[in-house]
Amino acid sequence: MTFKHTLLKTTFISGLAALALAPAAMAQQGSDVEELVVTGSRIKKNEYTSPSPITVITAETQTLKGLVDTSQVLQSTSLASGSFQVNNQLTGYVTNGGPGANSINLRGLGASRSLVLLNGRRVGPAGVRGAVGPVDLNVIPQSVISRIEILKDGASSVYGSDAVAGVVNIITNTRIDSGSVEAYSNMSPDGGGEVYRLNGVWGKTFQRGYFNVSADYYEEKVLRTRDRPYTACAADYLVDSAKNERVDYKNTQGTTKCYNLFANTLSTSLGNLVYTRPGVTYPTAAQGNSGSNANIPIPSGLARSGRAGFPLTFPYMETENPLYDRASVLYPVKRYTLYANAGIDVTPTVEGYAEVLLNRRETDVFSVQQFFPDLAVPWILGNPNNPFGVSLGRQRPVIAVKSDLSVKVDYARLVAGLRGDFSGSGLLDGWSWDAFLQYSRSDGEYGGDLIYDDRVLAVTTSALPCDQSVITISGGKCSTIPNGIPLTSPRVLAGNFTDAEKAFLFGYEVGNTIYEQTQFEASATGNLFRLPAGPVGAAIGAAYRRDFIDDVPGPNAQAQNLWGSSTSGRTRGGDNVREVFAELNAPIVKGVPLFESLDLTLSGRYTDYDSYGSNSTYKVGLSWALTPWLKVRATDGTSFRAPALFELYLADQIGFLSQASVDPCIRYENSSNQNIRTNCAAAGVPQGFLGGPSSAVIVSGGGKGVLKAETSEARTLGLVLTPKSLGLSVAIDYFDIEVSDEVRRFGASNIALQCYSRSDYPNNPYCGLLARDTGPTPSILGVYDSYINVASQKNRGIDLNVSYEHDFDFGRLRVESQFTWQLEDKTQLLGSAAVEDFNGTTYSYDGPDFTGEVNVRFDKDDWTAFWGMNVIGKASDTGYLGQDEYPSTQYSSTCTNAAGVVAPCTTLLASAATASGLRVVGAPVLYKQYTEFYLTHTLSLRKRMDKWTAQAGVQNVFDEHPPAASVGQFRIGAAALNGYDMVGRRAFVRLTYRW
């Protein structure tokens, strides 16, 4: 840790020292750069004269870093690495675009608010299931990319809807007059997560045109939870505050208890029971119970485990399972891509051009789920299927079962256009124009393991071993299991079903998703007239776009016949949008003291959507060069985001969340909110409640007719220093983005929190959206959570970009760095007066408030050496929770009973008479609710030869593991930052042959 902090400080000091060397007046870097269309404007200019902050990522740098995946390139930037990203490490999550989709979430404002362009034109969505919306970066291979420009403020007035947090413009290679073949391999000595890529590029430039074609194959192998120690065991990570050492509870083997997956257990009204194993001493009934239940006998062969408030039973809780071990941390994926572009001079002033992008993605997800059917009716005492001899009341066998998914998406994007100049046309002489038609289509097939709900009912809701009359959807036959399924037997609890039982309960079902986007746009740009300071540039245009989605889930999903899995109806709908836009660039002053130049830019757009109506946006930008090397820039503008098709038309879906992710009444006696303590008690929830074994059912759907567009305002203020003689460029930009009427689901946990944290419980509207079990395990049964305009969000911070180049006698040094400090990230939800600031926490999909990267390369002749660093700052939930650390009341070796007797917990638990009222005494045991400063290094060496180029390198040189946090923290968000490296140290090799 000391080394990491020292290195970071050294980096900052070096940057400041370079700034101090800048003389009072130097030539502006970039003054001799050819003007072209850069992201953020349709008027020709370069990145140094643009008033908007822009970051440029070159393919050359990413090659040296060993990155070959577009999503990894973008998600590792400082604009994204501190925010939750949708990528290949989200097993168990329901994500927009379906499993394996990769998107970009700039500044933590969401992928739907980050616009992605390919060569200045929108990229149509791709993916599966009803929630297809954000661009899936899988469709764009990194091998065709020349550079990526990221506009770091809102730009709806220039590009239309979705450009709220910024714009990512991916620019491909065009005029290539050669060929190349490249092979890449990336492997860890620990195995898992291997990456392979093979691609070829060929291009030919003719007198009147050009043609390029690229073929790319990419494969990433699975990384399973068992492959790394930091994913194989979900530990509580408890620390003794007095000794400052780990004191995690132990399992029956004396090693750290892993809370991976609760299964192989019979959950009853008397507590959780497990079958005893030879050689293991289990707690007695009195040791695992209290009060009136203390003397209730436990059936022979069973023992208590994991009962709330009784640490003595925790080692026997069944939470380690081979199906969990095989689950994927990183999905395996294969991608096949063909990309071609061409242009031809139709006339001396008109060029025709075309692009073709064809992509197939195949993704597999290895997952596991809990199967816990309710056996309340047939398993009463006296029923022949109850083998225990005593009544256990309501029962749920908790069984781990395989729940794998697979996705295949075929994506096509076709562009055809004409562009040219108005030559000799009078008023428009010198203007250029561009008109294109674009069509994209995503055709996705998704399949997954399922449990037939009607067949589960057949073997659980009747005194019969199997009741054929309730199998009304799937068509299963009870005759295949004439004796039913012994769901409480040791064999079945362990997940060992016979072939006939598997065929009866489990199946596989396939759905299909089509997403089409058609777009036409025409624009023209040129100079209107000339002012004393220079020509006034302008751009005008019009656009039309139609989006259409049709998601057809499998028949059992549509019939809601999936036990324990998301179900949904058919999502089908479309939207049309018509737009006109204009942009103006006016030079106000030039060539006077303190006003080397002063340029004003204005842009506006009028948009009309069929789904919600019309909207207007604007943007004002000012670029003030005090000297050739010192510039101030500022922007202020509005943006908007129209509701996506899935937010409008999504058919009701059923999903599941753990009780810990939803229920504010879990251990509510420790809450600082008096309303929560009072209301949870009134709901019949006992103190010490840890949540039931079953997940809560979450129902969600679209909001057509209710939703309106999001609106936002973005402001930036920046300082740019470009002393050319020093080879130094520095850009410091402050950003402030405020989004109103955010479209999102309110969130099941927020609905439950609003219900129980208000004084008008149970009569407030949120309580009507959830249901709680009134039985002995008062878990939340379900929550209704659909898309609405629910929130406002304010996000502000500082970006720092520094680059330095210097030629020595023995070679050339280049240093590039970018850092982002997020100063504020506040959200206010509908109906809540409280403004929540998640900045610098792991809560609510947020992350650290500081991220950055530094890339250093040295070139000498044909050799290039590279050193890269990626930084993710510390994140802590202690401030959000309003306490330094959260003291555990479950884990301790010393307790006191209601009579005030202090003794080892095991001694007190052994006595039924004194087993109630236990409390921890002495130094508290603390949860770890922060993530450390995280720094990874990449080293590589490249040699260029006549036709060959060879490169080798190491990523994550010091094998830094992702930071760990306690899994049992009270009300800590379940979704942690996923920008950490899960694979660990690995080596990569790249070979390229050119002709």
Token pair belonging to 147: 């550079």
Q: Is 70 exceeded by the pLDDT of residue 970?
A: no
Question: pLDDT at position 184, please?
Answer: 97
Max CA-CA distance within the chain?
102
Q: Which of 504-513, 692-701, 763-772, 915-924 has the lowest mean pLDDT?
A: 915-924
**What is the predicted pLDDT for the residue at 30?**
35
- The pair of structure tokens assigned to 61 is 């740098």
Q: How much is the pLDDT for 385?
A: 53
Sign of CA dihedral 394, 398, 399, 403: positive
| Segment 944-957, tens digit of pLDDT | 999 999 999 999 99
Which H or E run contains 649? helix 645-649
User: Given the structure tokens 């004396």, which residue do they identify?
Assistant: 254
CA distance 271 to 571: 42
Please tell me the distance from the alpha carbon of residue 113 to that of residue 493, in angstroms, as a whole number.
45
Predicted confidence (pLDDT) at residue 510 exceeds the cutoff of 90: yes
pLDDT tens digits, one per residue of 135-155: 999 999 988 899 999 999 888
For residues 285 and 854, what is the distance between their CA atoms, to the nearest angstrom?
60
DSSP state of 676: H
The 3 state secondary structure assigned to 69-105 is CHHHHHHCCCCCCCCCCCCCCCCCCCCCCCCCCCCCC
CA atoms within a 13 Å half-sphere pointing along the CA-CB vector of 88: 29
pLDDT at site 599: 94
661 pLDDT band, cuts 50/70/90, is confident
pLDDT interval class at 250 (50, 70, 90): confident
DSSP letters, 340-401, are EEEEEEEETTEEEEEEEEEEEEEEEE--EEEE----TTTTSTT-TT--SSS---SEEEEEEE
Taking 3-state DSSP, the helix, strand and coil percentages for the chain, each rounded to the nearest 5, stand at 15, 45, 40
What does the pLDDT read at residue 132?
Answer: 92
DSSP string, 460-525: TSSSSSS-GGG--SS---GGGSTT---TTSHHHHTT---HHHHHHHEEEEEEEEEEEEEEEEEEEE
Residue 286 confidence (pLDDT) above 50 = yes
Which has the closest alpha carbon to 179: 197, 196, 198, 204? 204
Q: Which amino acid is at 579?
A: E
Task: Label residue 559 exposed, middle or buried (CB < 10 Å: 0-12, 13-18, 19+).
Answer: middle
Top mean-pLDDT range of 82-86, 99-103, 395-399 = 99-103
Q: Which residues are paired to 994 by β-bridges?
A: 180
Three-class secondary structure of residue 661 per DSSP: helix
Residue 752: strand pairing partners = none
pLDDT at 310: 64
861 against 923, higher pLDDT: 861
Question: What pLDDT is stored for residue 4 in this prediction?
Answer: 37
| pLDDT band for position 574 (cuts 50, 70, 90) | very high
Place of tokens 């969600």: 700
Closest to 351 in 3D by CA, of 442, 420, 403: 420
Helix-helix angle 748-757:674-682, to 10 degrees: 90
Helix (H) or strand (E) holding 749: helix 748-757
pLDDT of residue 13: 32
- Mean pLDDT of the region 228-246: 81
In the predicted model, is pLDDT for residue 913 greater than 50? Answer: no
The fraction of the chain above a pLDDT of 70, given in percent, is 84
Stretch among 119-133, 274-288, 342-356, 625-639 having the lowest mean pLDDT: 274-288
Q: Are 966 and 878 in contact (CB under 8 A)?
A: no
How confident is the model at residue 736, as a pLDDT?
Answer: 96
Residue 465 confidence class, pLDDT cut points 50, 70, 90? confident
More confident residue, 362 or 31: 362
55: phi then psi, degrees, rounded to nearest 5:
-110, 130
Q: Chain centroid to CA 275: how far?
A: 39
> Which one-letter amino acid corresponds to residue 692?
G
Produce one character per residue of 78-103: b if its CB has 16 or more CB atoms within 10 Å, e if not. bbbbbbbbbbbbbbeebbbbbbbbbb
> 750 pLDDT band (50/70/90 cuts)?
confident
Mean pLDDT within 457-473: 89
pLDDT beyond 70 at 808 = yes
Per-residue confidence band for 929, with pLDDT thresholds at 50, 70 and 90: confident
Instruction: Report DSSP state, residue 562.
Output: B
Closest CA to 825 of 730, 930, 742, 747: 742
- Structure tokens, 420: 């040219």
Closest CA to 136 of 536, 599, 517: 517
Of 375 and 435, the one with more pLDDT: 435
Residue 504 reports pLDDT greater than 90: yes
Residue 234 clears pLDDT 70, i.e. is over it: yes
Compute the distance between CA of residue 72 and CA of residue 104 in angstroms, rounded to an integer: 10
The length of the chain in residues reads 995
Residue 451 has pLDDT above 50, yes or no: yes
Of these ranges, 9-13, 279-283, 344-348, the one predicted with the greatest mean pLDDT is: 344-348
Alpha carbon 130 to chain centroid, angstroms: 18
How far is residue 721's CA from residue 22's CA, in Å, rounded to a whole number? 9
Residue 239 has pLDDT above 80, yes or no: no
> What count of Cα atoms within 13 Å lies in the side-chain half-sphere of residue 250?
6
How far CA 592 is from CA of 438, 585, 588, 884, 962, in Å, comes to 46, 19, 11, 57, 54
- How far apart CA 803 and CA 856 sit, in angstroms, is 10
**Which residues pair with residue 641 across a beta bridge?**
710
How far apart are alpha carbons 928 and 738 in whole angstroms? 32
pLDDT of residue 495: 95
Residue 21 has pLDDT above 50, yes or no: no
What confidence tier does 972 reach under pLDDT thresholds 50, 70, 90? Answer: very low
Phi, psi of 768, rounded to the nearest 5 degrees: -75, -10
pLDDT of residue 36: 55
Q: What is the structure's pLDDT at 216? A: 96
Among 93, 237, 231, smallest CA distance to 967 is for: 237
pLDDT band at 758 (very low <50, low <70, confident <90, very high): confident
- Residue 831 confidence (pLDDT): 59
Question: Which pLDDT value is given to residue 951?
Answer: 98
Q: Which residue has the higher pLDDT, 292 or 685?
A: 685
Give the mean pLDDT of the chain.
84
Look at residue 907 in the predicted model and tell me its pLDDT. Answer: 46
535-547, pLDDT tens digit by residue?
A: 999 999 999 999 9
CA distance 598 to 615: 30
Distance CA 20, CA 26 (A): 14
Q: Is 50 or 573 the better-scoring residue by pLDDT?
A: 573
Q: Are 195 and 68 in contact (CB under 8 A)?
A: yes
Say yes or no to pLDDT of 866 above 50: yes
Q: Which two tokens stand for residue 602?
A: 């204005």
> 480: how many CB neighbours lie within 10 A of its CB?
12
Question: What's residue 787's pLDDT?
Answer: 84
Assign 456 a pLDDT band (cuts: 50, 70, 90). Answer: very high
Using a 10 angstrom Cβ sphere, with 0-12 exposed, 13-18 middle and 19 or more buried, the burial of residue 277 is exposed
Tokens of residue 649, six digits: 């038309």
The pTM for the full model equals 0.86
Give all strands of the β-sheet with 770-772 in edge-to-edge order: 567-568, 653-657, 696-700, 780-784, 770-772
Residues 568-595 as b or e (16 or more Cβ within 10 Å = b): bbebebebebebebbbbbbbbbeeeeee
User: Which residue is it, tokens 């007046």?
Assistant: 25
Q: How many CB atoms lie within 10 A of CB 443?
A: 17
* Own/partner long-range contacts of 379-382 (Cβ < 8 Å, ≥24 apart): 379/488
Quick check: 589 and 597 in contact, CB under 8 A?
yes
Distances (CA, A) of 869 to 7, 17, 77, 935, 938: 10, 20, 11, 7, 6
Q: What is the pLDDT of residues 154-198, one digit of tens each?
A: 889 999 889 999 999 999 988 788 999 999 999 999 999 999 999
Hey, is 590 helix, strand or coil? strand
Report the share of the chain in percent with pLDDT over 90: 53
Instruction: Give me the pLDDT at residue 961, please.
Output: 92
Question: Cα(536)–Cα(585) distance, rounded to whole angstroms?
Answer: 6
For the ranges 246-250, 747-751, 809-813, 961-965, the one whose mean pLDDT is highest: 809-813
Model confidence at 976, pLDDT cuts 50, 70, 90, reads: very low
The whole-number pLDDT of residue 900 equals: 53
User: Contact at 8 Å (CB) between 358 and 229?
Assistant: no
Greater confidence (876 vs 296) lies with 876
Instruction: Pick the range with the lowest mean pLDDT from 46-50, 593-597, 874-878.
Output: 46-50
Of residues 529 and 237, more confidence is placed in 529
Say what the pLDDT of residue 37 is: 59
